[in-house]
Amino acid sequence: MYPQHVIARKRDGHALTGDEIKYFVRGATDGSWADYQLSAMLMAIFLRGMTAVETAALTDAMMRSGSVADLGAIQRPKADKHSTGGVGDKVSLPLAAMIAACGVAVPMISGRGLGHSGGTLDKLESIPGFRVRLSLEEYRSQVDRIGLCLIGQTAELAPADRKLYALRDVTGTIECVPLICASILSKKLAEGTDVLVGDVKFGRGAFMPDKAKARELARALVSVSTSMGTPMRAILTAMDEPLGRTVGNALEVAESIDCLEGRGPADTMEVTYALGEQMLLLARVARTPAEAREKLAATIASGTARQKFVEMVIYQGGDARVVDEPQRLPQAKLKVPLLAPRSGFVSDVDALAVALAALRLGAGRTRTEDKVDHAVGVSELVKMGEPIEAGAPLCVIHANDDPALAEARAMLAKAIVVGDAKGVPPKLVDEVIGA
C-alpha cells in the first residue's frame, strides 16, 4: 500500500478495508504519512463519508494507536459520559460525583474548550493546585481507591487523534460525523469504561446547531460504541440559552458546588439527572429511571456526592477548602451588573452571543495555546420567561480589564432581550437514542 493509492480509493467513493484504515492511522501516529497526505485523506473522508463498518474500524485503530487503560481489576461497574459541549455546561462536575457516590466508578478523561468558555479541565484548573495531568498509573490507582478521577488526555492515549484533530482544525474537516465519532470514542473507549452516555447538544449555542445532524451523530456514536463492546446511549439536549446561571470557569465550579448542595439551577439539574439515570441503568445498578433518579437524589440529600467531590479534589492536589469557601476560587477585579432597560419578561437569552461575550472577557480560547482567565465570565444570568423589573440585573459581568468589560457589556445587552411576551425555550431533554 501507498498513501496516494488509499487516498484515491476513498476519493473515488470506495469503502476502505480494515488494513487500509490501520495504515492511515499508523501513518498519523508514526509520521510515515506526510501532513499533506493526511489532510488529503481527511478531506476525502469529509466529502465521501464512511460506512458504519469503516467508522468502527477507524475508531478502533485510533484507540489502539496508543495505550488502552486496563481497569479490569476494579470490581465496581464503570461508567462515563461525554458532552459535545455547550454554553455554561458544567454538568460533568456534579454528575461524576453523584455517580461515584452511587457506587459506580467514573473514569473520566475530559478536554479543554476551544472557543466560548473553557472545557471541563479548565474549570477544574480554576481550583488552586488541582492536577489534571496524571499518569495512567495514577489515574488507575485513583479510580480504584475512590471511584472517581477527572483528567486530561495523556500522551499514551489515542495519539493518532491528537494529530488528526489538529489537522482537521485547520483543513475545514471538523464537521464530519465519522471523524467526530472516531475522535470522541477513540479517547473514551481507551479510558477503560464499561458503559458510556453521550450528551449531544443542538441549538444555536451547540457545536452542531441542526437537530437532525446532532441526531445523526448521536446514532453513529451509539452504534459504533455498542458494536465495539461498550454499551452506549445518547441524549439530545437543547442549547439555545446557557445552561445554568453562570458562564466562566471558576464561576461554573462554584455553581457545581451549589448543585451538590441541592441549590443547583433547575435546568442544570434536569440534564444532570437525565444523564445520570442512563448511566445507572446501563451500569445495572438501577432497574428503572425512577429508581435511578431516587438514588441520585439521595446522594445530594445525604451529602455523599459533595464528599466524593471533596475526595477527588484532595486526591488531585486541589485546595478542597473551595467547597466550603467558594471565594477562594479566582476572583475578577471588576464585577458589574447589566441592568434591564425596561420591565417585562426575558424573551431571549442567546447562548452563542453570551458565549462570545465570555470569550471576549478571556474565559475561553481561540487557539489551543491561548491561556484562559479562570476568574472572568457571567453570573446571576436570567432565564427565558422570567419577569424582570426595569433597573434589575440581567446578569453580573466578571472582568479583569475595562476594554473587555465594555465590549462584553455591549454584546450581552444585545444577547439578553426583554419584551412583553415570555420567551419559551425548547424542550431541554429532547430524545434518548439507543434506549
Catalytic residues: 82, 161, 168, 183, 187
Question: Which of 16, 111, 93 has the alpha carbon at shortest distance from 61?
Answer: 16
Query: For residue 333, how many other CB atoms are within 10 A of its CB?
Result: 12
Tell me how far the alpha carbon of residue 316 is from its chain's centroid: 20
Helix (H) or strand (E) holding 53: helix 52-63
Please give the torsion angle defined by the CA atoms of residues 120, 125, 130 and 132, in that order, rounded to the nearest 10 degrees: 50
Q: Whole-angstrom distance between the N-terminal and C-terminal Cα of the chain?
A: 41
Spatial CA neighbour of 386 closest among 359, 413, 421 = 421
Contacts of 35 (CB under 8 A, 6+ apart): 167
DSSP calls for 201-243: EESTTSSS--HHHHHHHHHHHHHHHHHTT--EEEEEEE-SS-S
With CA atoms as reference, report the closest residue to 355 among 382, 384, 377: 377
Nine-digit cell string for 87: 454554553
Sequence-distant (≥ 6) Cβ neighbours of residue 316 within 8 angstroms? 124, 130, 131, 132, 134, 142, 149, 150, 151
CA distance 142 to 87: 30
Instruction: Decide if 339 contacts 393 (C-beta within 8 A).
Output: yes
User: Do the bridges between strand 377-379 and strand 334-339 make them parallel or antiparallel, or are there none, so unpaired?
Assistant: unpaired
How many residues can be counted in the chain?
435
- Whole-angstrom CA distances from 17 to 21, 53, 156 are 6, 9, 26
Return the bridge partners of 122, or none.
none
Compute the distance between CA of residue 64 and CA of residue 6 in angstroms, rounded to an integer.
20
Q: Which long-range contacts (CB under 8 A, 24 or more apart) does 174-177 make?
A: 175/208, 176/42, 176/45, 176/46, 176/49, 177/49, 177/213, 177/216, 177/217, 177/220
Alpha-helical (H) ranges within 239-342 are 249-260, 266-282, 289-302, 304-315
